[in-house]
Structure formats: structure tokens, C-alpha cells
Amino acid sequence: MSASLNPVIHNFAELANTTAYTTTSLTEVATGDNITITPITANNIKITGVIDISNNTAGDGVLSDITYATGSTAIAAGTAVSGTAISSTNVSHTQNVANNPNYIAISAIIQNLTIGLPYTFSFNVEAITAGTASFAIMHIMIEDF
């Protein structure tokens, strides 16, 4: 008896080793790092990856998160954040040493999206109380499942 396999085709997008985006903003701004993906097989999206955040002021830190919106328009660096925040990607880190790189793993699942509709995911950052916040993507993968 022979068996046949019916592979599931998934859609995915990646970003890796982005140039660090820096800001002195005390309100969240977009980093200019965006990923657009259109779910083709399922209405769920999974995000996994590692980011590098730091601040040039000892005792200060960085807030970071990911937001998403429908459409394929990229959010420009330094612009106000819009869209739906993904709460499980909200990262806050205060450091004791200036410019100390902090590699942080992030993971999230977003459910009930519309198959065939593009979604753009934007990465956002702000300094906590002072200094210059730095944000870089080491590796991010977004896929439907």
C-alpha cells in the first residue's frame, strides 16, 4: 500500500540583521522595519525571533513592541505608531551599563486574520526616560499556520 502526502503550503516572511534604529523619543515611534505577509492557508500568524535593544544611558532603558494593520503600506521610521498592538511582544528593559546589548526572544500568535488580505507588521521603540534607545532585528520570522 502506498501513502500519499498532501503538503501544507505556508506563506512566510523574514527580516534579519537590520541596521540599528536609534531614537531619543519618549513616545513610541516606528523603526522603519516592516514585514508584510498575506495569509494564504490559515487565518493565524506566528511571530518568532530575536531583537537587540539598548540605551546609551546607564540606568535607563528601552520599550519595544510590534503592531500590525491591514494593507501593504510600510510605516516610515520615526513616525507615530498606529495599528493593533501585539501585547505579548511588548518588551521593557532597563540596563545598568550604557550601550549594553540585550538580545531578547519574542514570540506571538495572532488569530482570526483574513486569508488573502495583506497585513503589515511594524516594529516600534522608545527610550524609557532619557538617552538614546537602539533597536535592531537579529532575526524575525512571520508565518501563517
| Amino acid in position 7 | P
pLDDT given for residue 126 in this prediction: 96
Q: Is 116 left (phi over 0), alpha (psi -120 to 50) or beta?
A: left
pLDDT given for residue 6 in this prediction: 43
Task: Output the 3-class SS for the chain.
Answer: CCCCCCCCCCCEEEEECCCCEEECCCCCEEEEEEEEECCCCCCCEEEEEEEEEEECCCCCEEEEEEEEEECCCCCCCCCECCCEECHHHCEEEECCCCCCCEEEEEEEEECCCCCCCCEEEEEEEEECCCCCEEEEEEEEEEEEC
Convert 99-121 to b/e letters by CB count within 10 Å (16 or more is b): eeebeeebebebeebeeeeebbb
pLDDT given for residue 32 in this prediction: 93
Is 68:110 a contact under the CB 8 Å cutoff?
A: yes
List, in order of start, the domains of the chain with CATH numbers: 13-144 (2.60.120.1340)
Q: What is the pLDDT along the chain (145 residues), one digit of tens a residue?
A: 444 444 444 677 888 888 899 999 999 999 999 999 999 888 899 999 999 999 999 999 999 999 999 999 999 999 999 999 998 888 998 989 999 889 999 999 999 999 999 999 999 999 999 999 999 999 999 988 8
What cell numbers appear for 23 in the block? 531614537
